[in-house]
């Protein structure tokens, strides 16, 4: 009888322990489910859909040339007084150099004068070459591949850059050759650049971008666009919810993509944090 009672007591304790473990696991599971089932809305950065200028371009290079140039050769011992050349600008008909015989050298046009030394033994060591350059406008002759012949037209805008300047200069296509060079399969075009601040000097190698097919169209940052196969889409934020919108893309410029259809000007699209977002999911805007 004693053994039977001990066995019954052991079984009761064992059953109670098992039941307690099951109940404890149940409540612990409910606690963690409640704690982790609701995830916080992911933080995203949004951008406003607005119109921008998009275009295509032809990129090449060319050497800067003064619009007008003149070279004067003079003997050093014929010069009257001191030679004033460095960084000097002269007007038309102004005396550049006074000579002993009275036949002074005068400027044929307004511009900047400079001096070019002649090597010893070339035309006599006593010779001096003076240059006069009209720098208000700079000429750049560029070669363009023949497949752009139907696109290249006079009046097209051009952007000109050089590593020496932290800026771009404005220019335009002034003229186009009437023939294609059969050896290079290219056509020659002339660019005129505004250089009213006299920053560009003749001889500099300039990068030229001829702009065509311009259009003012709504656009979004490239980072906002997700491409899957033949489909492209963005996430538009309505209040605090992300909504997936299929789009049709156009041109790309300066890290932006033009949008032909799918969204409207003024929409707020997610530009950073796209990978954390799902359609119809809540989001938190954290724009700085």
pLDDT tens per residue across span 213-252: 999 999 999 999 999 888 999 999 998 899 999 999 988 8
In this predicted structure, the answer to whether residue 118 has a pLDDT above a threshold of 60 is: no
CATH class of 69-134: mainly beta
- The CATH code of domain 43-54+216-285 reads 2.40.420.20
Q: How far apart are CA 147 and CA 133, in angstroms?
A: 35
Q: Which of 14-23, 99-108, 206-215, 243-252 has the lowest mean pLDDT?
A: 14-23
Q: Tell me, which fold does domain 56-62+137-214 have in CATH?
A: Elongation Factor Tu (Ef-tu); domain 3 (2.40.30)
Q: What is the mean pLDDT of the chain?
A: 86
In this predicted structure, the answer to whether residue 1 has a pLDDT above a threshold of 70 is: no
Q: How far apart are CA 69 and CA 104, in angstroms?
A: 19
Query: Buried b vs exposed e over 224-248: b needs ≥16 C-beta within 10 Å?
Result: bbbeeeeebbbbbbeeeebeebebe
Q: How far apart are CA 259 and CA 222, in angstroms?
A: 11
For position 130, what pLDDT does the model report?
86
Q: How far apart are CA 45 and CA 53, in angstroms?
A: 23
User: Domain spans of the chain?
Assistant: 43-54+216-285, 56-62+137-214, 69-134
In this predicted structure, the answer to whether residue 131 has a pLDDT above a threshold of 80 is: yes
Residue whose C-alpha is closest to residue 189's, from 206, 205, 174, 207: 174
Tokens at 102, concatenated: 């009275």
Q: β-strand 127-145 against 186-194: which pairing, if any?
A: antiparallel
For position 13, what pLDDT does the model report?
75
pTM to 2 decimal places = 0.68
């Amino acid at each position: 009888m004693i053994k039977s009672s001990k066995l019954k007591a052991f079984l009761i304790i064992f059953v109670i322990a098992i039941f307690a473990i099951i109940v404890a696991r149940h409540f612990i599971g409910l606690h963690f489910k409640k704690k982790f089932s609701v995830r916080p809305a992911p933080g995203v950065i949004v951008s406003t859909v607005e119109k921008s200028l998009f275009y295509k371009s032809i990129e090449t290079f060319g050497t800067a040339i003064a619009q007008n140039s003149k070279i004067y050769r003079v003997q050093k011992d014929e010069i009257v007084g001191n030679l004033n050349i460095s960084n000097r600008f002269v007007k038309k008909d102004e005396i550049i150099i006074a000579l002993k015989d009275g036949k002074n050298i005068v400027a044929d046009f307004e511009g900047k004068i400079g001096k070019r030394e002649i090597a010893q033994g070339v035309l006599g060591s006593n010779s001096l070459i003076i240059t006069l350059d009209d720098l208000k406008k700079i000429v750049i002759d560029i070669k363009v591949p023949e497949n752009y012949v139907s696109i290249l037209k006079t009046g097209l805008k051009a952007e000109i850059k050089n590593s020496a300047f932290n800026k771009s200069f404005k220019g335009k296509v002034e003229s186009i050759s009437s023939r294609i060079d059969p050896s290079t399969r290219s056509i020659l075009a002339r660019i005129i650049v505004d250089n009213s601040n006299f920053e560009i000097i003749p001889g500099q190698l300039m990068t030229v971008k001829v702009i065509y097919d311009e259009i003012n169209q709504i656009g979004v940052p490239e980072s906002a666009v997700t491409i899957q196969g033949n489909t492209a889409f963005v996430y538009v934020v309505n209040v605090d919810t992300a909504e997936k919108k299929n789009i049709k893309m156009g041109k790309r410029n300066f890290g932006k993509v033009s949008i032909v259809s799918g969204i409207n000007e003024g929409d707020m699209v997610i530009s950073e944090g796209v990978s954390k977002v799902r359609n119809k999911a809540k989001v938190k805007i954290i724009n700085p």
